[in-house]
Amino acid sequence: MPRPDYYELLDVPVSASSAELKLAYYRQAKRYHPDLNAGNTEAEERFKLVAEAYRVLGDERERQLYDEARERDLRYADAPELAGMQRKVRFSARAGRGRDARRNQQRPVRRRFGMLPMRRKMPWWVTALICLFWVSALLPMVMRPVSISSPTPAPKPEKKDPPDDVVRARLVTMRAELEKAAEAGDARAQLRLGLFLYSGSAGMLKNRSAARSWWEKAAAQGNKAAEYYLENCDFTQPPPSENEEP
């Protein structure tokens, strides 16, 4: 059906302002008001069209849409087949947008990060390689390691203590070397020799006075350990016994 020309109904130009539209509406409404045209159905219908025209043209957004549609109708007035084609194109585009909107609503929201990307965007063999990689990475975690019993190692042979005469010979050699180094002025040798004499170890007889003298020599060279032993050890000479030098 042809669209009515709202500008002709209000009797105003296309460039009419809002104030001009308002005055035109009051003029046409007063002219076709049902109270002034009782029983005139054409005047009543004209009054409704005038009200509709002012409602559309009085709103900026509605007026812009109406002007676009009016211009389109005027453009295809001499070629109705093109107008029908244009309407079909508009309808198909609107239907396509509605179909896309419904499809997006029904489609589940895809996570931003996933284990596998979308299959549509890559070949099937790439997806198979990715699945194979994940299976090979997770398979060792799932399978329990089988413990293989290793052979019991053979017991190591116990080392036998050297004979007593060998031990005594080694102690004599060590004592001679230690006394030689202590007499040469080695503070560490003097400290160690004093320890053996104080405790009576390493095959030496207990002699605390001799230990004290060696520690004094080491302390004179600045040995802190010797100074500590001189301050904290008891040098009270016990009565001689068979294990001590007289």
Residue of 190 and 68 predicted with greater confidence = 68
Specify the CATH number for the domain of residue 12: 1.10.287.110
| Cβ–Cβ < 8 Å for 56, 63 | yes
Residue of 124 and 159 predicted with greater confidence = 124
Residue 101 inside a domain? The answer is: no
Last residue in a domain, options 60, 75, 90: 75
Residue 122 inside a domain? The answer is: no
Residue 112 inside a domain? The answer is: no
Q: What is the pLDDT of residue 97?
A: 60
Q: Which residues contact 129 (CB under 8 A, 6 or more apart)?
A: none
Name the packing angle between helices 187-199 and 224-232 (round to 10°). Answer: 30
Last residue in a domain, options 75, 105, 131: 75
Residue 172 inside a domain? The answer is: yes
Residue 243 inside a domain? The answer is: no
The domain of 178 spans 164-232
Last residue in a domain, options 75, 91, 117: 75
**10-19, 60-69, 108-117: lowest mean pLDDT where?**
108-117
Q: Quickly list DSSP for 59-72.
A: SHHHHHHHHHHHHH
Residue of 125 and 88 predicted with greater confidence = 125
pTM: 0.34
Q: What is the spatial distance between Cα 233 and Cα 231, in angstroms, rounded to a whole number?
A: 6
State how many domains the chain has: 2
Residue 147 inside a domain? The answer is: no
Q: What is the spatial distance between Cα 32 and Cα 46, in angstroms, rounded to a whole number?
A: 7
Residue 32 inside a domain? The answer is: yes
Summarize pLDDT for 91-138 with one digit per residue, the tens: 444 555 666 666 666 555 555 445 545 545 678 888 888 988 888 888
State residue 40 phi and psi, 5-degree precision. Answer: -100, 105
Percent of the chain with pLDDT over 90: 12
